[in-house]
Structure 1
Amino acid sequence: MRRRHLFLAALPLLQAACRGVGGGVADRRAPDDGGIGGTGRFAAAEHGSDDGGIGGTGVFGSVTGLGSLRVNGLLLETSPATAFETPGGAPVLPGDTVAAEAAPREGGGGAGRLLATRVAVFHPVTGPLERAADDGGGWSVLGTRLVLAPGVPVRDARGGAAAELRPGRTVAVSGLWRDEAVVATSLRVLDSGAPAAASLRGLLRAEGGGLVVGGTRVDARGVPAAGASVGRFVTVQGRPAGGGGLVAEGFEERPLAVFSGRVSALSVEGFVSPNRDAPGHHLSGFGLQLDPSSPAPARLGVRQVLLGRYRDLFRVEQGLPLPADDEARRRALEGAAAEAAIARWLSSLR
């Protein structure tokens, strides 16, 4: 399988109405027309006319099983042509969060079968572990708090068993944004001999006269103005700063971010949050705007798999609440109720 060794961005955002700030980062405003690709019109222009044509299926979530990949109750089959994008070529394992592009598998064999053309690992935050001052001895990375449930996999950079967590160790965190925290689904402890790495992937906000991603203060002084926009999903690379921040050395804001091609359907694991400065709701940490006319109601703060269609907004047709326990979550996603919901969603896409 081809493997590209990349640091990855993830789902891009609806542009937000954020005021500009200093530090060399632009506040580029555009029509409030949505979502994947920065704006729905941009994505359409990149991949064809804006006619609502059928694209692929975008899948974002945590891996629950192998033998192909189980994500969000879907079976993502792979082939020699599937492109894997993982840091250092490390294997994809249960607990890793991934973004995938897929198409229905021809020949039947199950309602949830898709053929993945591309699978990209998503790390919302990478950096040295710190004790969270306001969390009773919990952990944070670059000032962003980690929510760690018992049994979250902790592995070395290549996927093997890692030693215990301790302050100062650099970790790449797989997980889901929940407001300003990351609900961790797995951690990779990077090689102790490697230079300390630091990166963030999330919504760039203007707050208190500065820049913030998640719970991390970003020092962007000296970064070129063309590097990123407030209110967009960005990848920030740099070095750890004292007091739990990040000194930015570069911003990346790709038009299509994780999804390299047009997508017209989405299966997304995450949390829904209210918009800060406007009515409506978005996928926490990504800013992906939900269609207010969606059949499925917005359930704030509940971990769930959202199934629906995407054009300029994410029209959520079904929401599958997920248990907190890993094993219970896996069983729920493989159970009859989830299977029936997934089958209805896939059938609606034909």
Structure 2
Amino acid sequence: MPTEIRKKARELMTGYCKVCPVCDGRACKGQVPGMGGVGSGSSFWANLESLGKVKLNMRTIHDKKDPDTSTTIFGRKISLPVMVGPMTGTTYNMGGKVGEKEFVSYLVEGSLKAGSLAMTGDGADPTMYNSGLEAIREFGGGIPIIKPRSQQEIISRIKEGEKAGAVAIGVDIDGAGLVTMALKGQPVGPKTVGELKELVQSTHLPFILKGIMTADEAELAVEIGAAAIVVSNHGGRVLDSCPGAAEVLPEIAKKVKGKITIFADGGIRTGTDVLKMLALGADCVLIGRPFVIQAFGGGAQGVEEYYKTIQSQLYGGMILTGCGTIGEIDERIIRY
């Protein structure tokens, strides 16, 4: 990550993010609202620690000299299996020196310029969700993710997303107990299978269920007809003492791989991390906090440049593990 981008981001986010050399949640534990993990911060740390335990098997006797990092998600080809995860709350989480609309525009525009997509978020302030829709409409694509509100509120937001030209849409069920939503008087909570089926059936768009951390709930996501799940503990921001996403991903993939698209989110910082997550069973990954720093420090260009860095690292990792395409990445390239 370029020094000048980190320096500017640190200045703009003083008191909210220290822009640490390694974004692992140690310096910001318990800072929710803010950029940290809830409680002891262990769920945030677990994402990086579980991914760090995975090692790669290096192979150099093969013909995979020019790997293809592209993949197809929801019928749309993207340049690499990486997207920006849904994030909002620039004022109470990030310091407010970059506005909500400006922030999400950087994410959406930078992602599209890099040949990928950004997921946009939802929050207690209506400008959060609406800013995402405006950026999707303006730049030509994105995926809105809605908080687990009342059925009526979610369906209303789904319809708005459809009109904005969303590629897919979803609900981050892992936001069921979000402190920030509660503080703002916005009721959120868990959903029943019946309620989720109603949401899936309310839209023609691929429906994503974000916040799956067990194999049984992954199977329920298949049952309700969801197009995709996101294996995620919400960046360690909702429940203390959760395992890392990389720890539970293999058992989830064992049950539902091929039946539903699997995204994974949590602690991904490099192209090597992307490679590991794909080998563990993900079809695509989401990255959050590092893109915040890139957006604050470098705008849409900073976001685009980070994608290119990740893509270059992934390309090199594929060469050195003998993978010519994203589809060839599997458990044979990793060890514990």
Q: Same fold (TM over 0.5)?
A: no
Between Structure 1 and Structure 2, the one with more strand by share is: 1
TM-score normalised by length of structure 1: 0.29
TM-score normalised by length of structure 2: 0.30
Between Structure 1 and Structure 2, the one with more helix by share is: 2
Higher relative contact order (CA closer than 8 Å, sequence separation 6+): 2
